[in-house]
Amino acid sequence: RKLLGLQAKTARVVRDGSEQDIPLEQVIIGDVIRVRPGEKIPVDGVIVEGASAIDESMVTGESIPVDKGPESPVIGSTINATGSFLFRATKVGNETMLAQIVKLVQEAQGSKAPIQRLADIVSSYFVPIVIMLALATFATWYAFGPEPVLLRAILSTVAVLIIACPCAMGLATPTAIMVGTGIGAQHGILIKDAAALETAHKVRSVVFDKTGTLTEGKPRVTVVKPANGHTENEVIQMDAVVEQSSSHPISQAILEEAKRREIILHASSEQFETVPGNGVRGTVSGTRVVSGTERFMRSEGISVDALRGTIDEILDGGNTITIVAVDGSAIGVIGIADTVKPTAKAGIAELKKLGIEVAMITGDHMRVAASVATQLGIERYFAEVLPEDKASAVMKLQQEGKTVAMIGDGINDAPALAQADVGIAMGTGTDVAIEAADITLINRDLRTVASAIALSRKTLRTIKLNLFWAFGYNIILIPVAMGALYPIWGIQLNPIFASVAMAASSISVVLNSLLLKRARI
């Protein structure tokens, strides 16, 4: 209800040259909508005119307003803080991010955690045992009890059945799961099901993908070192022509550099082929161009020995390298750097405080991985890992007896996310990665990884406390209801007081679960 209450009720749509307020249900994809300062953005879309700072805290949990301009995406139900702008609706109705969040939270709150099976198993034995105890109680009171024998036997039997009602056991897990998943959604942590929330508390090792997760995923060219008489612009031009057909972040960085240098790309590549984790190759006007890693060059039979000093120098600077070769001869090396996310170091420090080992996995060269790992305080890392081998790296940690969480954002992370005990996807990542993950972090703040694990631990602690009180209540009070105190103090439990005690037990479990709302994550 809280999430649904965030929705705007109307939208100011520009139609036929005029602005008109219409109910949210009547907005269609493609509508251009005006948002004024202080208003809620009605649906998801992309800004076409104007700029503003937008408070996205209700969806992402990020308190600082985000600056947006033309071509920037906007999320429905977030609040426009300052400027006025026009945006084009791209998702409406059940397709908006808020609607998807509501759906996920609903599914998670209705799912059953593995620990619930314990309560279910106990209940399956508990009920027939209670029936037998009730019959034994009746027989004992009827045979040995004082007058009125039948009345006392019936009252004690009814008291046993009331006091033994396993309501609190049934409420112990789902109430805590409901509160836990709700809190997660408010902090930008989407938990797919109760099992994921429970498993997360066991995590002892967290593996981060580097590009796009620990780093911004927007690399830029930092250095160009030509060879064999070529110029920097020639190296960039030959590489950029081939990279035009690739959507990889490194390809985009090289194209951006070509644009910055005002290099005109007349030709286009033929027989283009991308080799995941290695590079690209293609033919440009009859010339064979290969671009990628040192490993890729060796597999293509291209010697880079003459560039050894240059490669080492660029790698020592913490850059990723792309070697460019034309017709089997290397013509230069391009150094590319990707900035580390501002919250990465703090996020890793938070995980270490929780006693969790942090590891990094990347397809980059060992020296680049070492540079980033040192910068972030990561002791263990896997470098030069091909996309298809990421799941194997996760499996290696699992074979060491660790419960592993994997954090990624790309299509190539999906197998590793599925392999991990808990897969965590960045909300800014691809749909495939999000689908493969158990938990999705809507915001880009890596401190939220520790928050998700802390939330899991607190939720499990609450569930265990609930189950302890639920079981303890029955173990203590069933003998009282049977008449254990009568021979000592002459006390026989009235069914009315048994009813009060049973209700109080259920209420205490619910109240204990609601205390989770006060948890600081």
Catalytic residue at 209? yes
Euclidean distance between CA atoms 2 and 17, whole angstroms: 36
Euclidean distance between CA atoms 54 and 46, whole angstroms: 13
Specify whether the CB–CB gap between 443 and 61 falls below 8 A.
yes
Specify whether the CB–CB gap between 215 and 368 falls below 8 A.
no
What contacts 206, CB < 8 A, 6 or more positions away?
351, 356, 357, 358, 359, 404, 405, 406, 407, 449
Specify whether the CB–CB gap between 185 and 1 falls below 8 A.
no
Euclidean distance between CA atoms 275 and 345, whole angstroms: 31
Among 209, 338, 364, 445, the active-site one is: 209
Euclidean distance between CA atoms 42 and 7, whole angstroms: 7
**Hey, which residues does 189 pair with through a beta bridge?**
441
SS3 299: helix
- Tell me if the bond preceding 148 is cis, omega within 30° of 0: yes
The radius of gyration computed from the CA coordinates of the chain, to the nearest angstrom, equals 31
Euclidean distance between CA atoms 41 and 65, whole angstroms: 14
- Residue 17: what residue type? G
Q: The tokens of 225 are what? A: 């070192």
CA angle 463, 466, 469 (to 5 degrees): 150
CA distances from residue 519 to 458, 470, 476, 512 in whole angstroms, order as listed: 8, 22, 30, 12
SS3 300: coil
SS3 66: strand
Closest CA to 43 of 27, 66, 67, 21: 27
Specify whether the CB–CB gap between 314 and 332 falls below 8 A.
no
Euclidean distance between CA atoms 199 and 196, whole angstroms: 5
Query: What ranges in 218-343 are assigned the alpha helix state H?
Result: 232-243, 249-260, 294-299, 308-316
Find tokens 């301009």 and name the residue.
69
Q: What is the DSSP letter of 40?
A: B
Residues with a catalytic annotation lie at 209
